[in-house]
Amino acid sequence: MLVKLTEIATVLAAVALQTAYLHKKKTGFKAILLLSIVTIPVLVMSIESMNTFLTYDETYIINEVLNITDVPLGQWQLGALRTTDLLVGFPLAALKIISGFSLDILTLFVKPLHWIIGFFVILLIIDNLVRILKKEDEFLFAYTLLFFAVMLLPVVIMAQKIINYDSLSMLFGTLALVLLAAGWQKDDNCRLFLSIISATLGAQEKLISSPILWVCLCLVPLRVSWKADIENTASLIKNVSLNSLKAAITTILTILFTYSIVVYVNKSDVPDTNVINLFYPLISGLWPVLRLAGHGAGPFMLRGYFNSFLYIPVFATLLSLFLVLFNISVMLILKKASNTHWAQISGKLLLNQLPLINYILFTVFLICGVCGTFFIDARLGPFIPPLPGSYLPPVSFNYCFIHFGAGNAATHIIISIFWAYVIFVNAIPTTIVFLAFFNAVLFFQKRKETSSPVLEITYTAALLAPFAFGLLLVPVENRYFNLFLLLLTLVNVYKLIESNITICGKKTRIAAVAAICLLLIEVLPFRPLYGAFRPLWSNYSQLYNTTPSRGVSNPWWMGWGEEISIAGKRIEKRLSESNRKLSGVQIYHNYLGEWLYRKNDAVLFLLDTCTFFRYTENDFYILNRSIIAQSPPSFPDSVPPYDIISFRGFVTAWVFRGDDLKKHGFAFR
């Protein structure tokens, strides 16, 4: 009952936030009511079952957020989750002190609060995109399309349902770029500097936003200074220097504010004062390069050398000096180029042709991803080691690495780039692909100049991100691309609204409704987490889908611990249908996860921690596909499963009953 109540309360809070926003935009009562009615089902989808499961990462991350006052801050020390500690952990600490709630009750608030903060940032993203569009008379159409596109994007739903660093890094990173685009177009200094704060909050959460922070730190001072007198070189240098200092101070104060709040509430494990760790969000983007060079832990190894508050002003001075010198150099180059006719023509030509370049890139990468889905054979080492003479990748992740049977490093990197696009393309809903091609048709018909160069360049960066991942041999999963997938979706919807199609036309309304319905049809089979989403065209043989893929990696989600809750509920339902309860039931699982707030006394065991196994009708074994693929235990191939967890035919977990295993002579060791 409490779980349902928290879900209802979260939906109502989201509707209230949306209503307040629409009211501020002077939307009529009838329109607000209608929008509330049509958006509630989508909000329910985004929240459903959120408080009933914990995935692998959540099982240990949630403890830090829940107990920020008195537990070691492991994720903070690794340079991650800092914005969640600030925005979720701190309010929960205050609630714990004021209310005296137990941890069981407080756990009910963690995910909803995290979700609401994410939803608020989504509204900010949509609002700033609408401002860039300058189509106030078409606000409701623009808001509705952007809302459904974002809230139905599988990687967004998944990130919002999981309490880790994915959601806030994705959303604050995206907001930073949208604020940068809005401030750039409208000459709005406030939005430009807010983009730095947003990027810092994203980079504090996860390294994926660290490059965005540097983009903002460099572009904001240049844009603000360019609006001043550019003819006077001395004045220009002065403005660039001052604005670079402002940018450096903005990000430093954001980091120090977060640190101060966490230090204030945490009494047992105060985050260390080492400047390398404190300002890690500024350098975390270097991790892929350092990792490839064999120094992935390099920044953390320097902690002992700079462990004093006295180094903070030194670091701040060095950062400011670097930004000042770099931005002055860039500004002087741009100033000189602006006075050169060929540079002006080349720059304008490039911006005019950038949409065409992006459509070509999208098509090429889509073809690479689709072809790679069916032709690339990705193997997981060390379970399946490379054949003698084949290339051995120099880096691993979580004691595992992917290889393709390549004969040398160059071939391996090329296939790795293709594989990154396979993962990327398999996370894009078919509706978004159709939308991109529809936008291309409109572009070729009108050849209209883009109204937001920043968003167009952002689109280019999103398309090239998998290339960088593959080139640097960075691990790839659909959730690792969430920021770029969200940007790709937003820019495509933006382009549709930006084009002067007849917004009020009946055909347009029908097409919009049809697109949303297609998106729903494609996404719904993957509830409740939506991590296992794959587009309609992406399918393998039934034999592959229903049998363990030992040592084989595929572009789809293979489970992350959520199957324990899903399988547990289904076991409970089947037993209740036969007038039995889960009393005395033992559930063994091979992947870390948790079934929260179950209304039974079933006992859960992680297989790796067990030395004794029971094989009765009250014992159930949940075997996750991902673990079988990476470090396969013995698997009961000849035993018919009691149940399977599958999404559109692809099995992510098998459930076996103990007495069935015993009957077939199978035992775990």
Query: What DSSP designation does 221 have?
Result: H
| 360 and 492 within one domain | yes
Instruction: Output the six-digit token pair for 193.
Output: 């500097």
Domain assignment present for residue 242? The answer is no
* 422 close to 372: Cβ distance less than 8 angstroms: yes
Domain assignment present for residue 625? The answer is yes
The least confident of 302-316, 347-361, 441-455, 507-521 is 302-316
CB atoms within 10 A of CB 333: 11
DSSP string across 392-448: --S--BTTBEEE---SSHHHHHHHHHHHHHHHHHTTS-HHHHHHHHHHHHHHHHH-P
CB atoms within 10 A of CB 628: 25
pLDDT digits (tens, 9 = 90+) for 114-150: 999 999 999 999 999 999 987 777 899 899 999 999 9
What gap in Å lies between CA 120 and CA 123, rounded to an integer?
Answer: 5
Buried b (16+ CB within 10 A) or exposed e, 162-197: bbbbbbbbbbbbbbbbbbbbbbbbeebeebbbbbbb
Q: Cα 356 vs. chain centroid, distance in angstroms?
A: 27
Domain assignment present for residue 114? The answer is no
* 645 close to 589: Cβ distance less than 8 angstroms: no
Q: Reduced to 3 states, what is the DSSP secondary structure of residue 562?
A: coil
More confident residue, 5 or 102: 5
Average pLDDT, stretch 637-653? 96
Residue 401 pairs with which residues in a beta bridge? 381
What gap in Å lies between CA 80 and CA 201, rounded to an integer?
Answer: 11
DSSP string across 250-298: HHHHHHHHHHHHHHHH-SSSPPP--HHHHTHHHHGGGHHHHHHTT-TTH
What gap in Å lies between CA 535 and CA 648, rounded to an integer?
Answer: 10
Residue 380 pairs with which residues in a beta bridge? 402
Longest alpha-carbon distance in the chain: 88
| 560 and 441 within one domain | no
Look at residues 441, 470, 501 and tell me which one is the last residue of a structural domain. 501
> Cα angle vertex 318, ends 313, 323, to 5°?
125
Nearest residue to 58 via CA among 473, 596, 616: 596
Total domains in the fold of the chain: 2
According to the model, what pLDDT value does residue 80 have?
Answer: 92
Domain assignment present for residue 189? The answer is no
Give the model's confidence band at 229: pLDDT under 50 very low, under 70 low, under 90 confident, else very high: low
By DSSP bridging, strand 619-624 and strand 401-403 are unpaired
| 362 and 470 within one domain | yes
According to the model, what pLDDT value does residue 270 have?
Answer: 66
Domain assignment present for residue 620? The answer is yes
What gap in Å lies between CA 617 and CA 663, rounded to an integer?
Answer: 11
pLDDT digits (tens, 9 = 90+) for 33-84: 999 999 999 999 999 999 999 999 999 999 999 999 888 888 988 889 999 9
DSSP string across 299-327: HHHTGGGS-STTHHHHHHHHHHHHHHHHH
pLDDT digits (tens, 9 = 90+) for 349-386: 778 889 999 999 999 999 999 999 999 999 998 888 88
According to the model, what pLDDT value does residue 145 have?
Answer: 94
Nearest residue to 478 via CA among 155, 29, 177: 155
Domain assignment present for residue 591? The answer is yes
Strand ranges in 562-628 using DSSP code E only, listed in sequence order: 586-589, 594-595, 603-606, 619-624
| 567 and 479 within one domain | no
| Residue-range definition of the domain harbouring residue 623 | 552-663
| 472 and 365 within one domain | yes
What gap in Å lies between CA 641 and CA 621, rounded to an integer?
Answer: 10
Torsion of CA 103, 111, 398, 391, to 10 degrees: 180
Look at residues 481, 501, 521 and tell me which one is the last residue of a structural domain. 501
The pTM of this model reads 0.95
What is the overall mean pLDDT for the chain? 91
| 354 and 494 within one domain | yes
More confident residue, 572 or 302: 572
pLDDT digits (tens, 9 = 90+) for 459-487: 999 999 999 999 999 989 999 999 999 99
CB atoms within 10 A of CB 472: 17
For the cut 90, the answer to whether the pLDDT of residue 397 exceeds it is no
By DSSP bridging, strand 603-606 and strand 586-589 are parallel
Look at residues 462, 483, 501 and tell me which one is the last residue of a structural domain. 501
According to the model, what pLDDT value does residue 310 have?
Answer: 80
| 574 and 650 within one domain | yes
- What order do you get walking across the sheet with 603-606 strand by strand? 603-606, 586-589, 619-624, 650-657, 643-647
According to the model, what pLDDT value does residue 297 have?
Answer: 59
Domain assignment present for residue 261? The answer is no
| 557 and 659 within one domain | yes
Q: Cα 502 vs. chain centroid, distance in angstroms?
A: 34
| 461 and 356 within one domain | yes
* 56 close to 592: Cβ distance less than 8 angstroms: yes
The least confident of 36-45, 403-412, 438-447 is 438-447
| 583 and 645 within one domain | yes
- What order do you get walking across the sheet with 552-553 strand by strand? 401-403, 378-381, 552-553
The least confident of 295-309, 318-332, 403-417, 511-525 is 295-309
Domain assignment present for residue 201? The answer is no
| 489 and 399 within one domain | yes
* Residue length of the chain: 669
| 559 and 497 within one domain | no
Average pLDDT, stretch 612-640? 90
